[in-house]
Amino acid sequence: MPHDGHGHEEHSELSPIALRVKALESLLIEKGYVDPAALDVLIDTYETKIGPRNGAKVVAKAWTDPAYAKWLKDDATAAIASLGYTGRQGEHMVALFNTPDTHNMVVCTLCSCYPWPVLGLPPVWYKSPPYRSRAVIDPRGVLAEFGVTLPEKTKVSVWDSTAEIRYLVIPMRPANTDGLSEEDLAGLVNRDSMIGTRLAGHVA
Amino acid sequence: MMGFGPVAPEANEPLFHAPWQRRALSISLAMGATRQWNIDMSRHAREKIPPAQYWSLSYYEIWMEGLTRLLAERGLLDAPSKKLPVLEAANVAPALAKGSPYIRATEAKPLFKIGDRVKVRNLHARGHTRLPGYLRGKSGEIVLYHRAHVFPDSNSHGAGENPQHLYAVRFKARDVFGVNTDDDLQADLFEPYLEAA
């Protein structure tokens, strides 16, 4: 497992940052600015309700329902909302459809903007300087680090999320999946394929 | 900025790498709901961390540093406590589902339309901006029109929402980075960042 200065090494409750966060939380509760029960609901929401399975359902539906795919292309915010996924960090959605000619890949070079309602909280690599700095200038090199090599003729099209538009990549449907149900297809859609750093059908 | 090394995806990455990160996320979101600042102010607070410190912090450490600065600037850590609109547990789901839509009405007509060639102005903002430096002076083509949105360059400084038309602009990678590929890249750019090419 890579441990390379991303700051994953804080395991102790006693680390300075853990103590600092604990002190800040206590102070905010004491001052009546935050409701401790709301904090627990927020955490539970992102741990159990909002995550990449949401996005996978959008993708599987787009693969199996041409009318839905068209709606997603024309008005992704509404098409995604129809499945119940709306709100914070996904207020304005655009879907990017990968084809044999064009492979889309999403980054936020300025911070870590990410479509939370469909993908949940971003992984560490997405938020870290190596990805944020290199996705725009060397996307094929970055893809190689995910084990993805695209044909030369496939254009890589990078989307830098510099405003409040959030992008969801619709990966290409894997070959030989004609008989599969929407649910089984959703199982082939890994998180990274919806960011554009992997292909569908690969394990993330 | 370069030289950060390879991207290191972690297999079976946990959602949080330490318990304090859960608390950091939740207090940040809950304090955001008290409406003492907007998202542009919170991004700016993180950007104002001195570079040597910023690059040594992990994501949620940056969030905590930014939150502490926002609270301190507003005197919210001092006594006496102020009366703020508090996010209650029962309101978490509806508040998250609603989010904060950024599209606004504006009288101004968009200057550009899809297919237009535009050039990114040579702007060097002293405060917050959402114009990435690598695009200054580069020319591209409008590919999407996103309507008018809250303008972060104003909103981050408490200067009002000042809605501006927002476009996705496509650039050729060879024009921006001098690479020998036919790849391209898009960024969402506000109208004040652009001029006709």
**pLDDT tens sequence across B81-127:** 999 999 999 999 999 999 999 999 999 999 999 999 999 999 999 99
pTM of the predicted protein model? 0.95
Does the distance separating the beta carbons of A130 and B13 come in below 8 Å?
A: no
Q: Report how far residue A63's alpha carbon sits from residue B4's, in angstroms, rounded to the nearest whole number.
A: 37
As a dihedral over the C-alpha atoms of residue B23, residue B29, residue B30, residue B34, rounded to 10 degrees, the angle is 150
Distance from CA of A177 to the nearest CA of B (A): 25
CA distances for A62 relative to A69, B23, B93, angstroms: 4, 36, 26
Range A169-184 average pLDDT:
95
The correct CATH number of A50-194 out of 3.40.50.300, 3.10.20.340, 3.40.50.720, 3.90.330.10 is 3.90.330.10
Q: Strand A92-97 vs strand A102-107: parallel, antiparallel, or unpaired?
A: unpaired
Q: Does a structural domain hold residue B28?
A: yes
Residues of A with active-site annotation: 108, 111-113
One domain for residues B173 and B133: yes
Domain boundary among B71, B98, B125: B98
Domain boundary among B39, B66, B98: B98
ipTM strictly over 0.90?
Answer: yes
One domain for residues B124 and B179: yes
Distance from CA of B184 to the nearest CA of A (A): 5
Q: Which domain holds residue B24?
A: 19-98
Spatial CA neighbour of A174 closest among A156, A189, A191: A189
Domain holding B189: CATH number? 2.30.30.50
Please tell me which residue, B25 or A2, carries the higher pLDDT value.
Answer: B25
CA distances for A190 relative to A195, A198, B140, angstroms: 9, 8, 32
HSE-up of A129 (CA within 13 Å, CB side)?
A: 16
Q: Which of residues 49-108 of B touch A (CB under 8 A)?
A: 55, 57-59, 61, 64, 67-68, 76-77, 81, 84, 86-89, 91-93, 95-103
Q: Does a structural domain hold residue B156?
A: yes
The pLDDT of residue A202: 58
Q: Does a structural domain hold residue B6?
A: no
Q: Does a structural domain hold residue B106?
A: no
Does the distance separating the beta carbons of B15 and A46 come in below 8 Å?
A: yes
Percent of chain A with pLDDT over 90: 92
One domain for residues B73 and B132: no
Predicted confidence (pLDDT) at residue A203 exceeds the cutoff of 70: no
- The answer to whether the bond into B80 is cis (omega within 30° of 0) is yes
Q: Which residue of A has its CA nearest to B72?
A: A24
Please tell me which residue, A6 or A192, carries the higher pLDDT value.
Answer: A192
How many independent structural domains does chain B possess? Answer: 2
Domain boundary among B45, B65, B98: B98
Q: Which of residues 33-62 of A touch B (CB under 8 A)?
A: 33-35, 37-43, 45-47, 50-51
Instruction: List the Cα angle A49/A52/A58 in 5-degree steps.
Output: 100
Residue in this structure with the two tokens 């560490």, named with its chain if needed:
A124
Q: Where are the domains of chain A?
A: 16-47, 50-194
Q: Does a structural domain hold residue B104?
A: no
User: Is residue B184 classed as helix, strand or coil in its secondary structure?
Assistant: strand
Q: Which of residues 103-122 of A touch B (CB under 8 A)?
A: 109-112, 117, 120-121
**pLDDT tens sequence across B6-38:** 999 999 999 999 999 999 999 999 999 999 999
